[in-house]
Structure 1
Amino acid sequence: MNDVLARPCCPCSPGGLAYRKDFTAEEMREAALAIRENAHQSLNDLRTVLGTLRRDGAVVMRA
């Protein structure tokens, strides 16, 4: 399950943009907006999965 939930979050890190010297300001803006949109979608997907698990009576393990 970890792979299913974590994989969509991987491209959500904006740190890589700092190393892109070939992007124009507009390309940088578009990339940052795409990362933000993907991050929001990943969080919504995670909330849906967790909500389903809790609704179905699954035990939620805490670290």
Structure 2
Amino acid sequence: MNETEVIMKIEYLLRKYLPEREDLTELVRKDTDSIKYVMAQISRYKKKEYDNDDRDIIKEIAFYYI
């Protein structure tokens, strides 16, 4: 997974689980070192449980970036 792919996947997760936190999308675009922080924010403040497909995305991000 390259940097562009991870940014797209994080943006997808943010739109789905924390749509009001556009600031986190900008943070990831500026600095991919913030991925761990953003993933923690999604996990902590998500409005609903993760879908199975989204869990796979999260595992993939964690494998490559956390």
Pick the TM interval, shorter chain: 0.3 to 0.5
Structure with bigger gyration radius: 1
> TM-score, length-normalised on structure 1?
0.33
Q: TM-score, normalised by structure 2?
A: 0.32
